[in-house]
Structure 1
């Protein structure tokens, strides 16, 4: 009898649906600090989400505690896995507490998007999304399910924060969510959109690689002249790490012969991102963690679904949108008064700061000239002003952070200044303890 009671208690901790203010959560911890579940955004297409409630929450009526939605890149990189356990979540890849977790500034909502990413899945491969807009539509459907029946969530401003290709998802989702809000179909407050090392304008990034590598002595003048041809540039990029231009690439050479060299190169190099997201900084296999202890904890993952098992389907389905820019969408968000934050790691190559600055200068935002003329303010870690860790400039609803010493994965390389930046973005009440 005691065994049966213990079993029932453990089952209730995970299986018991959480009904809060007429909203049914699929599963969660007994104390309500974590909730997770699936939303069938289309027939046979399922998005997985995981919400963490912050233990650092400050109740301040003048500044409601925010919710931060993290969108990973790829396309096909898992936010539930990589962003959560290797970047900003409460636990690291070894399941040890992370002191720099972004829970210190907001509740965290991770979604494995598009469908087929991470624990998300499709029952038919033909249901994989093919465009950024289709992904945004699915995410908007998920937000309706999570927010519309939950008054508590509705009172918290939502900040969409993205990394890498996730930036394209973030701006398309921002516009899709606004449209749904204006139509009365979605009940939430959009606090802003933040684009971290985001693949907003592929052309500007590709054109920045040669000059940037020359500026930092990774190629010489001969290499720079050759870089005017993608075929010649390939031999220099064979050994170059795409996420930190200070490092060599451990992978072998890339061979391309078709006219679509630039697109093919990007697809090959960028697809390695999907592999890099499967390992923690300590070398532990993230795939084993997610398909082992984490899947066991969550309980609701179908037996035939493995974490990351459909990521290749996602990446292949979106090849048509891979090189399409999303500068116009950023302009639309700015014109609608949405706070847009751009942040970039200094030593990133694939989404280099030089390329980001180039696409920002193409914005048609009416206040762009004033923004560009503004001086930058240095950033430090806490009250230690002896080491400059970055710079920021802003005007009205556009903000730009230059994060020094960071590559493509800014929260990993510069956790302290990143956390301060997120506090500024979300305008979180200060937690003191």
Structure 2
């Protein structure tokens, strides 16, 4: 990156590694230097929580606000009904309006931890006053169903569709890669990029939004929105993308051995969330500290350069900082305390993920294979048996070798700890 920005936001994006590309470095930098710039990122409501793969975008919005600008979180109440085909091998399952609303309610929970929102009638009214210059940098939470649900199809084709070239749409990598693999792309999905472009134009028209951000897989969609906004309402807007996040071993960010790493506490406990970051590969520590925490860049680089056993303390700092932002300082402290009890002192750890069974559920007993599956340490009975056969399972820190073992009510008179390898643990206890 050779561009030397004047604005604080662009400086942070470049210095901390958020920047993959920008449609106009100098133009955006000058706009950011001249006043408050509203910028948005869209989040489709495909699940009841976002996972850590979305955390880089959330941090970009947070830094936008911290440097004096106005973040807009756009919930895809409308676009989720279509589904983004970008770099997918198949079509997303279609959700009902009720499912989408429930997912949006779940997703909203996490944003209040990272952004300060406008919450008074006067603030919201001022934000909706059209193209007026924003008076505050408080965030807005919007839903694109507000303008997409009531579109007239013929008017939309005439007024918006005519600005899109099918030849150009087919050339975008997100579409081209799907067609090159001879995988079906439905007409429904093909419309998605037009709707996302329309979102940007409407946000500019309604709220003065001048910046769209997203992962680098959204580049084509963002450029479409910039072109449409210029053609239809003659406004200059900008696009900025972040790198697609992978771990040092090439895996996509957001997944772990036992599934997605959700941001909502009811879908992934703060302890498990903390543990995910504690298990970061050595090579990723410095980079993740810059992206996912607010520690000074120099400190991130110092911690990331540690070697040997010292890097483990840097990983604890990373886990503490990220968990504090997402779940609060108390949850981070409790997670670290639990981890130290489990790993350093062999304790059971009251904050570990817990499977609580009623006497009726337990009956005369629960097979240890089912206990491993139900506690989330394996995805299936086959995986649990393999874990036991390969010596990776432990019961109360003792090696577990008998896949036929049954846990009886007497065994569960006090909580027992199941372990999968050295780093993943769960408690099983009897209710009452």
TM interval, short-chain normalised: under 0.3
TM-score by length of 1: 0.23
Which is greater in Rg? 2
Structure with more contact order per residue of length (Cα contacts < 8 Å, sep ≥ 6): 1
Which has the larger helix fraction?
A: 2
